Amino acid sequence: MEFALHGKKLLVTGGTRGIGRGIVLAAARAGADVLTCYRQESEAVDTLTAALKETAGDHHVVRADVGEIAEVDRLVQEAADRFGQLHGVVNNAGVISHIPFGELPADEWSRIIDTNLTAAYRVIHQALPLLGAGSSVVNVGSRGAAAGIPLRAHYTAAKAAMTGLTRSLAKELGPRGVRVNVVAPGVIETEAFDAMPAERAAGLRATYAQKTALARLGTVDELAGPVLFLLSEHSAYITGETLNVDGGI
Ligand SMILES: NC(=O)c1ccc[n+]([C@@H]2O[C@H](COP(=O)([O-])OP(=O)(O)OC[C@H]3O[C@@H](n4cnc5c(N)ncnc54)[C@H](OP(=O)(O)O)[C@@H]3O)[C@@H](O)[C@H]2O)c1
């Protein structure tokens, strides 16, 4: 599936691994110039940088922890310095943990809220002067936010709040031509599956073969496609929407 993003300037948070990496590479191949960030040095940073060098366009991979307001501000300033404007923002960087609610410490609650939710507020807030008419913000939520998931109250609270942020901003920014939407993934098979014990990965695949209408997990490309659609002019009359990309869970 091809969406033309020629000449569009995009900021995608958390682009070195998983879904974000898929979005960055798909957008760059669709003709966009992409600036993305990560939190920690890894082989993934080097391989993404190398892949983007092979892809036409003006791409940048920078270190910035979006859980820190000052680092978000620096990240968006870098986008401003390099691109002068933005046609699209994807708030993808996210973190999760699995903790019984009775044992959930306040600092872990804050870490999850800061990285998944406050980062999105701050990225959009700082990027606002760069977003002109026709631009698009995509917030990567989670299908689990609407369903609820045991041991992830903090994560689903953050992702559910993203929907409220999106709905309100769609109304507030719509008159100036800025669209804001959520893409809510179900379970997407990222390279994290390669890192887990084979038995656990097989167990997850079997579980979601039962739980989804399509009888399988999703792929990174199947998530990147809907994000590119929402960044593109093909979705020019869609805002405030949550697009579930979950195989019919
Ligand atoms: N995978 C799924 O099945 C699934 C389902 C529902 C929702 N989601 C959502 O989709 C998004 C991507 O998930 P994923 O599974 O692709 O995650 P992932 O594989 O863990 O990758 C996360 C990416 O975000 C970066 N990142 C994490 N914390 C960051 C921070 N504080 N500052 C800057 N970058 C940071 C990571 O960089 P580092 O390597 O530097 O940490 C990495 O590039 C998240 O918002 C997640 O909640 C995923």
> Domain 9-186+223-240, CATH 3.30.565.10 — does that match?
no
- Mind listing the pLDDT tens digit for each residue in 13-32? 999 999 999 999 999 999 99
pLDDT at 95 over 80: yes
- Mind listing the pLDDT tens digit for each residue in 74-90? 999 999 999 999 999 99
pLDDT at 1 over 90: no
pLDDT at 2 over 70: no
Position 123 scores a pLDDT of 99
Give me the residues paired with residue 219 across strands: 189
pLDDT at 239 over 70: yes
- Mind listing the pLDDT tens digit for each residue in 40-49? 999 999 999 9
Question: 4 pLDDT band (50/70/90 cuts)?
Answer: confident
Which tokens go with 163? 């929907």
- Of the candidates 49, 12, 24, 3, the residue with the CA atom closest to the CA atom of residue 232: 3
Strands 33-38 and 60-63: parallel
Position 3 scores a pLDDT of 76
Q: Mean pLDDT across the stretch 41-64?
A: 98
Indicate if ligand 1 lies below 6 Å from the C-beta of 185.
yes
Indicate if ligand 1 lies below 6 Å from the C-beta of 156.
no
State the average pLDDT for the chain.
Answer: 97
Rg from Cα positions in the chain:
17
* Top mutation candidate among 48, 71, 95 for ligand 1, by most atoms within 8 Å of CB: 95
Position 208 scores a pLDDT of 95
Q: How far is the CA of 191 from the centre of ligand 1 (A)?
A: 11
Choosing from 38, 121, 155, 208, the catalytic residue is: 155
Domain boundaries in the chain?
Answer: 9-186+223-240
Indicate if ligand 1 lies below 6 Å from the C-beta of 154.
no
From CA 124, how far away is CA 131, in angstroms rounded? Answer: 9
- What does each C-alpha distance from 23 to 100, 126, 153, 208, 223 come to in angstroms? 32, 22, 27, 23, 8
Indicate if ligand 1 lies below 6 Å from the C-beta of 145.
no
Indicate if ligand 1 lies below 6 Å from the C-beta of 66.
yes
Ligand 1 atom closest to residue 15's alpha carbon, by position in its atom list: 43
Q: Is the pTM of the predicted complex or chain greater than 0.95?
A: yes
- H helix or E strand, kind and range, residue 151: none
Contact 108, 156 (CB under 8 A): no
Residue nearest to atom 15 of ligand 1 (CA): 18
pLDDT at 98 over 80: yes
- Mind listing the pLDDT tens digit for each residue in 115-130? 999 999 999 999 999 9
Residue 215 has phi, psi (to 5 degrees) of 60, 35
- Alpha helical stretches, state H, 119-197: 119-127, 143-147, 153-173, 192-195
Q: How far is the CA of 66 from the centre of ligand 1 (A)?
A: 11
Strands 9-12 and 131-140: unpaired
- What does each C-alpha distance from 93 to 36, 62, 86 come to in angstroms? 10, 13, 18
Residue 155 among the catalytic residues: yes
Indicate if ligand 1 lies below 6 Å from the C-beta of 218.
no
- Of the candidates 97, 92, 82, the residue with the CA atom closest to the CA atom of residue 35: 82
